[in-house]
Amino acid sequence: NPEKFESECEINKLTLSLQEDMIVDDLLNCMTGFEGKFIKTPSLSDRHADRTFHIERSLDPAMRELAKRILPVCSHYSTIIRFVEEKSEFKWGLVNHALCAAIRELLKNHYVFICQLENLQRKGNLSLQKLWYYVNPIMGFMEILASIIKVINKGDCCGSTVIDILYEKVLAYSGDPKLQELIFYLAQTSSRPYFQMLQDWIYKGQINDPYNEFMISEDKDITKEKLKEDFNEKFWEKKYSINAQNIPKFLANLSEKILLTGKYFNSIQETGSILGKNLNSNELIPFDASSNNRSQRKKINFPDQVEINFTIKEDTYKNVVENAYNFSSKILLNLLLKDHKLIDRLRSLKHYFLLDQSDFMVHFMDISEDELNKTSSEIRLNKIESLLEVSLRITSANSDPYKDDLRCRLLLTDLKSMVMKIQGFAQKNDSESGGDKLKALKGLEAFVLDYSIKWPLSLIINKKTLFKYQILFRHLFLMKYVERQLLNVWLCTKSGELCLGRSYPYYSLACALRQRMLNFVQNFLNYMTFEVIESSWSTFEENLKEVENIDNVIEHHAKFLDTCLRDCIITNDSFLLIQKILSECIMFSVFVQGVTKNIKEKEETSQSEWKSMTLKEAQELRRKTLQEIGEDLNKIVSDDAFAASIKGFDDKFSKLLLEFLAKIINDMSNGLGETKIGNVLYRLDFNDHYRNQIEKLRLTSSIINIS
Amino acid sequence: DNQRLKPTLILNETYILRELIYALQGVDGKIFQKDPKDMQTMILKVEMEKPVRMMVMRYLESGWFYGRLRRFLATYNNNPSAGLVLQAFCAYISTELKEYHRLLAVLESQLGDKDEGTECSNITLRRLSVWLEQPLERLKFLNIICDAVKDKKGGILLSTIFTYSKYGDANKAALVKSGLAKCAIPIRDMIIEWICDGQIRDIHEEFFVAFNNSIPNERLWHDKYNLRISQIPSFLSEDQAKKILIIGKSINFLRVICNEQKQIKAVTNIPSIESMLEQKTDTQFQDLIDQAYIDTSSYLIEILLKKYKLLDHFNSLRKYLLLGQGDFIRHLMDLMESELNKKAQELMFPNLQRLLDKAVTETNAQFEPSYIISRLDVRLLPPSPNDMGWDVFSLDYTMDGPLKTVFNSTIIQRYLRIFNFLWRVKRMEYITCSLWSSYKSDAEKLRKMPEIYEIIHQSNIIRSEMIRLVQNLNFYIMFEVLEVSWKNLCEQLDNSKDMDDVISANEQFLNTIITQLLLDENSKEIAKELRTIFDLIVKMSDLSEQFHKIALSEYEARKEFKEKCTDDMDEDQKTALDNMERKRYHGEVKPKIRNAKHQLQLLKNSFSEMVKNLLEALKNHPNESLRFLSFRFNFNEYYY
């Protein structure tokens, strides 16, 4: 009977008790999201706006006032129900779904509550006052819920942000245990999917994240297969990465560890085939060896998994994550040490890059010298490669099972810029001007060893560490080369000495200079190999025996390399001085070899003629050649130009050397004395040969400083 | 007033509720009737107060969802084209609807009951919200899924449902999962039947293993069974799917090709659906697949090795087609030489077979078991004009039964191609060596004629250059290519877990050999150059042979002349004889010598030219071992 209802709009014509009855009925409607007869609501301006209500003006003013107080509950309900409807959609992610489910659970209670009120009303037992009394307790909770929802709505939050908001609210309402309990319930339920993902990750290394809510994101395009062609550590760096937006604040400190834990699990599983064969003896991983690899891989799980639940005690998370981290790290370490023979690998690296037991290097230099003396653009890498292989196979390196992983390369940058790079000097100007330097780089300057390392050893020996090894190698290689050149000079001058005697002052000066240079180079080489590399290596190996997880290994390894770099005076200002001294030595030896080139040739031709002669003839010839050589040499040596250049070399070398020694003394007094650098000084100047000169130099420099 | 108003409201409410309960099941009543326009939505026939109307409309929502599900069922339930999985899904939906019916029945029965203390019934419009809240959510969710799975079947359908099971609300996720578990049963049963019996019963093409009956048994392993990638349910990994494919394929292979009827794997305890869906936590399914895979594959491999002697055949292919059995090959070449020097068209097939038999009986090949040696045969490749016997001759190795799957005709074809190349290289070595021996036997005689010996010497130099090239090439082929790849092959065969591994090992073996012997597409140019070098060697051999003959006849002529010049001849006679001799020499022999010298020079030039080209090409070859071959040829930088 529709007309009848229309006429009732005039509420002021009804009795007060009827008015009250009607308005209570309306309020009950509004509290479950329906419009009442006398309480109307305008349509919303936007989907997240508060719902407003208009109460019929003609209503009794007192009742109207009381009803107005109850209305916020209706408004909050509207906000809540709209939120639940909206965020249940798939696109809002698991955390929002779970939050909606939790709110729905609460709303069920709300409906039951309304039904109870209705029951009272039907019994004629519910006045407006009573309603106000009953509604009062749920008011606070509804308000908080609505305010939380508004925050979430405002930022269109999902995933960890939602958890963050709830976490803050839990802390904020710690004064009111009842409210806190409710919000805690919401937080716990809604964070459950997130923690499930976290568990999967830190216990199994798996990511099940359909809506991109988790803090770790996986790049599925990067696979192990691609890795073989590409850089080794790319997998480690890029396959899994932290997505900073998705970290709940209370896990922020742990994010690195969380990332690593799962990564370790993954790397163990990526190398599964090896696991199946060799890990039987390893007690750490509980699986049986009879079934095949793939199913075993699945079984590498953390033994005592804990279900992670929402809590406000951050220590709980920390403990869980650290346990998992330690476990995975330990397994991976075992894998590296036992299956992949990490230590043997490192030893092999040391053979090649740090010239330990490197008879192969001498041989290699013998056969490749001609090739390496060319400029790097003329060198055929193939040839160098095959020469390297030859020298590996016929020397003691042949017994190294990993020798096939050794490669060689010709780099475009010289040692200096490599050192700059490692010291963090990104000098753009330098690389530009380096363009013309490139062409001039000689083979032996560009030559460097390389080592192909497969997963998972590339965790430890990656491009970065290899870079340091290469720097050390290039330095040592250069030293060796210089030593070799100086020894060649010795060969040249030796035959000259035979015929000249030692009466020629500049000639003997040249010999003396050579001797000093040799002394420097050999002592320095000795210092680097024995005092620095060997001793830090033995410390490193000692340390490796006690490592607990991968990080320790990486740490010790880095420390070993850095010590070597520092004590070999590579990451030090004096490095440039050493370079200068070395280039001076090279220039000197080139000069002397150039001068004595004719002599050498003559001697060689005469030697080849001996073969077809009798002893007497040969002796005769020998004397004659010596005499000829002597005359030639005499001519050269007594030339002023020769004297001048020898003197020039001598001055320059002495000056640089003194500078270098003074620098070391200076460094020592500046607190670098703890390092072994000082030993260089005692080696080079063991008999105080340079001491006075250094003192003089320091004096003058200090005078300059003072003035 | 108060007394009058209330009863009407209550009466109205009960009435509305009764009508509503009908309407929630899509039944027309007096108040609610279907909209004649779309026959789906319910419309109100009676005007009501606004609050009541809103409430009722809200409840009618579940009626609407219910109606949609009913229509979904009606569309697919008796649809023969709907697959088994969709049928299972429909069954699941109807059980869900049954729950809904039950609820409505309960509501209806309570409608009459009076709540004690009040005159109103147990159910009010408002209370309905408590009752209907959860069913509404479920119906809504099921509707979303129905919309998504419409017209899909098999694995795709399962994958779709699986994506919906990833939902943050645990209740709803469980709802979907229970549905998924029911839907996955047909596929699970197909998997079990396939991995136990190798049977596929899949009229709707829902299973992710497809088969094609028109494929002959010979190609059973390769082409008969395939994966339908899109039909792999997303809760199975592709790896598992591949394993499942191989298991059934192996069973069929054993049954059809190998005639092995033994039942390999009987699944006693069928894995639970949950273990298939929740592989993270339950490994039962994975274990079953793994076990079945190992059992069938290793059984198949065992049959191949033991019954069909797979390794022996690999070995004999290496011995005969890849020239591993040196004495046999050498002897065969000795026997066949004269025959193969003929034109290709003139070859007599039975002759060649006879020679092959002879070679077998006279060398170590006679000790081979008969099941191997009987397979060895001669094959003549289709000749092109001007082809010599050498160009078309080939050994052949016949395969049958399961072996034909591993060594199908294309594979054998590739072996033959390799043989052809190796045979050619061997022949070059043979020619150059026989040149040397023929020279050596007459060396003493030839030395006595300095102007002729000079040319012989020249040709000796060229010959030794050729020998070096050929022997280096041979060494490279035998040691660096064949032996190395053979070792790899043996390793891979040892580690083979299933038939596919065996096949791919063989293929990889052939691929490396073909690349490293310059027989692939990339090396066509280089191969051509090598071919020209071989031609030059043959030419050289002809040339030397001719000249050798000339030299010998010259030797004989001179000897004759010397015998004629006896001491008792007078001057005139001597001069006449001398003149004749000189005339003979200058007229006949000298041009020949000059010609030979000239030709030799030409040959030498073009040979070294070709070798240089070859080296240049090898140096830039992408294959590493071929680059090293160039170093081997040019170890002392003789050529540049």
CA distance linking residue B207 with residue B201, whole number of Å: 9
Nearest Cβ partner for A298 among B120, B129, B283:
B283
Give the span between the Cα atoms of B421 and B381, in whole angstroms. Answer: 13
A301-304: long-range contacts, CB 8 A cutoff, minimum separation 24: A301/A203, A301/A204, A302/A202, A302/A203, A302/A204, A302/A327, A302/A328, A303/A327
Higher-confidence residue: B3 or A355?
A355
Greater confidence (A271 vs B435) lies with: B435
Q: Residue A692 is encoded by which pair of tokens?
A: 């006075």
The predicted model gives A243-272 an average pLDDT of: 81
Mean pLDDT, residues A678-696 taken together: 76
As a whole number, mean pLDDT of residues B429-449 equals 84
CA distance B615 to B612: 5
- Nearest chain A residue (CA) to B10: A122
Question: A216: part of which helix (H) or strand (E)?
Answer: strand A216-218
Rg (CA), chain A: 42
Per the CB < 8 Å rule, is B169 touching A299?
Answer: no
Report whether pLDDT(A655) > 50: yes
What angle separates helix A535-544 from helix A342-353, to the nearest 10 degrees?
Answer: 170
Q: How far apart are CA B163 and CA B614, in angstroms?
A: 60
Task: Give the mean model confidence (pLDDT) for residues A350-368.
Answer: 85
Question: 3-state class of A483 per DSSP?
Answer: helix
pLDDT score of A495: 66
Gyration radius (Cα) of chain B, Å: 44
Residue A673 in this model has a pLDDT that exceeds 70: no
pLDDT at A434: 45
Q: Which residue has the tokens 């200096």?
A: A416
Q: What is the mean pLDDT of residues A646-668?
A: 84
SS3 B226: strand
Instruction: Identify the three-state secondary structure at position A39.
Output: strand
Token reading at A666 = 């200076």
pLDDT of residue B278: 80
The sign of the dihedral angle between the CA atoms of B162, B166, B170, B171 is negative
Q: Structure tokens of B244? A: 């499942």
Please state the rounded mean pLDDT for residues B419-427: 91
The pLDDT of residue B419 is: 92
Q: State pLDDT tens for residues A478-534.
A: 888 889 888 888 877 776 666 665 556 667 778 888 888 888 899 888 888 888 899
Q: Are residues B198 and B251 in contact, defined by beta-carbon separation less than 8 angstroms?
A: yes
Give B631's contacts in chain A (Cβ within 8 Å). 382-383, 386
Q: Do B120 and A108 touch (CB under 8 A)?
A: no
Q: What is the distance of C-alpha A645 from the center of its chain?
A: 50
Please give the DSSP secondary-structure letter assigned to residue A672: G
Q: How far is CA A319 from CA A284, A437, A472, B303, in A?
A: 20, 55, 41, 55
Q: How far is B125 from chain A (nearest CA, A)?
A: 10
Nearest Cα of chain B lies from the Cα of A275 at a distance, in angstroms, of: 16
Examine the pLDDT at B264 and tell me if it is beyond 90.
no
pLDDT reported for residue B578: 83
pLDDT of the residue at A283: 37
- DSSP class of residue A336 equals I
The amino acid present at A550, given as its one-letter code, is I
Is residue A266 within 8 Å of residue A240, measured between CB atoms?
Answer: yes
3-state class (DSSP) for residue A217: strand
Q: Which chain A residue is nearest to residue B635, measuring alpha carbons?
A: A383
B599 or A601, greater pLDDT: B599
CA distance A244 to A259: 12
Cβ atoms of residues A661 and A685 within 8 Å: yes
| Sign of the Cα pseudo-torsion (B311, B314, B320, B322, in order) | negative
pLDDT (tens digit, 9 = 90+) per residue, A294-311? 334 445 566 667 778 888
Mutation site for A-interface testing, chosen from B169, B275, B296 by largest number of A Cβ within 10 Å? B169
- Return the sign of the alpha-carbon dihedral for residues B165, B169, B174, B179: negative
Q: Contact, A169 vs A152, CB < 8 A?
A: no
Of B50, B133, B283, the CB nearest to A35: B50
Closest CA to B17 of B62, B65, B61, B56: B56
Pairing mode, if any, of strands B32-34 and A447-451? unpaired
Cβ–Cβ below 8 Å for A294 and B239? yes
CB contact under 8 A, B167 and A200: no
Per the structure block, which two tokens stand in for B17? 């509720």
Instruction: Please say if the pLDDT value at position A625 is more than 80.
Output: no
Q: Which residue of B has its CA nearest to A110?
A: B130
Residue A432 pLDDT > 60: no
- One-letter-per-residue 3-state SS of B357-386: HHHHHHCHHHHCCHHHHCCEEEEECCCCCC
What's the pLDDT at B9?
Answer: 47
CB-CB neighbours of A31 under 10 Å: 26
CA distance B166 to chain A (A): 7
CA angle B267, B273, B279 (to 5 degrees): 100
pLDDT tens for residues B164-208? 888 888 888 888 999 999 998 988 889 888 888 888 888 888 888
Per residue in A454-465, pLDDT tens? 767 777 887 788
| Contact criterion met (CB < 8 Å) for A37 and B49 | yes
Picking from A497-501, B426-430, B552-556, which range would have the lowest pLDDT averaged per residue? A497-501
Q: What is the mean pLDDT of residues B526-542?
A: 89
Average pLDDT of the residues in B311-331:
90
Residues in CB range of A36: below 8 A, 6 or more apart: A23, A25, A26, A27, A29, A30, B51
**What percentage of chain B has pLDDT greater than the value 70?**
95
**Does pLDDT of B446 surpass 90?**
no
Residues of B in contact with A96 (CB under 8 A): 168
Average pLDDT of the segment spanning B88-95: 91
Q: Are B1 and A292 within 8 A, CB to CB?
A: no
Q: For testing the chain A interface, which of B44, B163, B166 should be mutated: the one with the most A CBs within 10 Å? A: B166
CB contact under 8 A, B168 and A101: yes
Residue from the list A37, A115, A292 with its beta carbon closest to the beta carbon of B51? A37
**Binary contact (A97, B628; C-beta < 8 A):** no
Among B12, B14, B53, B126, pick the best mutation site for testing chain A contact (most A Cβ within 10 A). Answer: B126
Q: Provide φ and ψ at B211, rounded to 5°.
A: -135, 155
Q: Which residues of B touch A26 (CB under 8 A)?
A: 51
- Going by pLDDT thresholds of 50, 70 and 90, the confidence category of residue B490 is very high
Give me the residues paired with residue A218 across strands: A240
pLDDT score at B390: 86
B143 burial via Cβ count (<10 Å: 0-12, 13-18, 19+): middle
By Cβ distance, the residue of B51, B133, B497 closest to A29 is B51
pLDDT digits (tens, 9 = 90+) for A60-99: 888 889 999 999 999 999 999 999 988 888 888 899 999 9
Contact B286 A114 (CB under 8 A): no
Average pLDDT over chain B, rounded to whole? 85
Which pLDDT value is given to residue B116? 54
Q: How many CA atoms lie within 13 A of B361 on its CB side?
A: 5
Q: Is the pLDDT of residue A675 over 70?
A: no
Tell me which long-range contacts A523-526 makes (C-beta under 8 A, separation of at least 24).
A523/A680, A523/A683, A523/A684, A524/A479, A524/A578, A524/A680, A524/A683, A524/A684, A525/A476, A525/A479, A525/A480, A525/A483, A526/A683
pLDDT attached to residue A619: 80
Give per-residue pLDDT as tens, A552-600. 888 898 889 888 888 888 777 778 888 888 888 888 888 888 877 777 7
Distance from CA of A389 to the nearest CA of B (A): 12
CA distance B496 to B250: 14
Identify the pLDDT of residue A433.
Answer: 44
Residue B385: count of CB within 10 angstroms of its CB = 7
**Count of CB contacts below 8 A, A vs B?**
114
DSSP assigned state of A479: H
What string of H, E and C letters represents the secondary structure of B137-184?
Answer: HHHHHHHHHHHHHCCCCHHHHHHHHHHHCCCCCHHHHHHHHHHHHHHH
Computed over every residue of chain A, the mean pLDDT equals 79
Mutate to test the interface with B, among A8, A34, A81, A273 (most CBs of B within 10 A): A34
pLDDT at B359 over 60: yes
On chain A, the residues whose CB falls within 8 A of the CB of B120 are: 122
Q: What's the token pair of residue B252?
A: 């069929």
User: Per the CB < 8 Å rule, is B290 touching A294?
Assistant: yes
| B298 contacts on A by Cβ (under 8 Å) | none
Return all residues near A345 (Cβ < 8 A) that are at least 6 apart: A402, A453, A457, A461
Neighbour-count burial of A292, counting CB atoms closer than 10 A to its CB (0-12 exposed, 13-18 middle, 19+ buried): middle
Q: Is the pLDDT of residue A287 over 60?
A: no
Do A468 and A570 form a contact (C-beta atoms < 8 A)?
A: no
pLDDT confidence band for B575 (50 / 70 / 90): confident
pLDDT given at position A298: 43
Q: Which of B47, B115, B168 sits opposite A93 (nearest CB)?
A: B168
**A214 contacts on B by Cβ (under 8 Å):** none
DSSP string, B106-118: HHHHHHHPBPTTS
The amino acid at residue A562 is: D
Cβ A101–B172 below 8 Å, yes or no? yes
Percent of chain A with pLDDT over 70: 84
The per-residue pLDDT for range A310-344, each reduced to its tens digit, is 887 888 888 888 888 888 888 888 888 887 788 88
By Cβ distance, the residue of A29, A107, A122 closest to B118 is A122
Q: Which residues share a beta bridge with B32? A: B44
Q: Does the distance separating the beta carbons of B127 and A115 come in below 8 Å?
A: yes
Q: Residues of chain B with pLDDT > 90: what percent?
A: 14
Cα–Cα distance between B524 and B520 in angstroms, integer? Answer: 7
Q: Which of A18, A122, A192 sits opposite B120 (nearest CB)?
A: A122
Residue A687, token pair as written in the block: 């008999």
pLDDT tens digits, B3-58:
434 434 445 677 888 888 888 888 888 788 888 787 778 888 777 777 888 888 88
Using an 8 Å CB-CB cutoff, list chain B residues near A225: none
Q: Which residue(s) pair with B377 in the sheet? A: B396
Nearest to B283 among A104, A118, A295 (CB): A295
Q: Which residue has the higher pLDDT, A687 or A24?
A: A24
Higher pLDDT, B496 or A615: B496
pLDDT value at position A10? 65
Residue A701's pLDDT is 67
* Nearest in space to A197 (alpha carbons), one of A179, A187, A210, A180: A210
Among the partner residues A21, A118, A299, nearest to B126 by beta-carbon distance: A118
Beta carbons of A108 and B130 less than 8 Å apart: yes
Tell whether the model's pLDDT for residue A435 goes beyond 50: no
